[in-house]
Amino acid sequence: MIRFFAAPIAAIALLSAMAGGARAEEFDSRDVMGGGPNFFRGSSPIPRTTVMYNGNYAPGTIVVNTTERRLYLVLQNGQALRYGIGVGRDGFRWGGVHKITAKKEWPAWTPPSQMLARRPDLPRHMKGGIDNPLGARAMYLGSTLYRIHGSNEPETIGQAVSSGCFRMTNDDVSDLYGRVGVGTTVVVLNK
């Protein structure tokens, strides 16, 4: 059975190598089958890691630190999973406590009227998919316009460029999405 799949994968690799010099160096056959490093369009410039965490939050709480540009999922035993995030640019950062009220895979995007007023060039609606700015997953925060979501621009992780949402790589947001549920408390620190 393995031989049956080996020939097509080898052929794809050879065609990719012949098609484009520098692009051939980026090819990973796992991308064809799913799960390779380019499957979700890039890895985070800030790797996900488990860290010691001294906050007074219950396990399962998400803590967003806009100054650090990090999101923490509080674990047991004084630890947390730390993710790199993109945050709101100047004038769009905020703080507060909310709950995740909805979760969506490959969400559609309808820019709010406030964003369309600033950026009339944006589409009025965009179906979910790899080119959608919300990326692979979105977690909606209370009655706000804000979300924790994926991104098709992994190079923006660690930067302040959004309109108030928290961006993660698609790989990281998919990991977080699988660990939390609707009703999860989200604490946004903006110091």
Q: Half-sphere exposure of 174 toward its Cβ, with a 13 Å CA cutoff?
A: 14
For 11-16, which contacts have Cβ atoms below 8 Å and span 24 or more sequence positions? none
Distance in angstroms between the alpha carbons of the first and the last residue of the chain: 57
User: Cα separation of 121 and 46, whole Å?
Assistant: 31
Q: Half-sphere exposure of 76 toward its Cβ, with a 13 Å CA cutoff?
A: 0
Q: Half-sphere exposure of 109 toward its Cβ, with a 13 Å CA cutoff?
A: 24
Give all strands (DSSP E) within the chain, no chain letters: 49-52, 62-65, 70-74, 79-84, 87-88, 96-105, 137-141, 147-149, 160-162, 166-167, 185-189
Enzyme catalytic residues = 149, 165
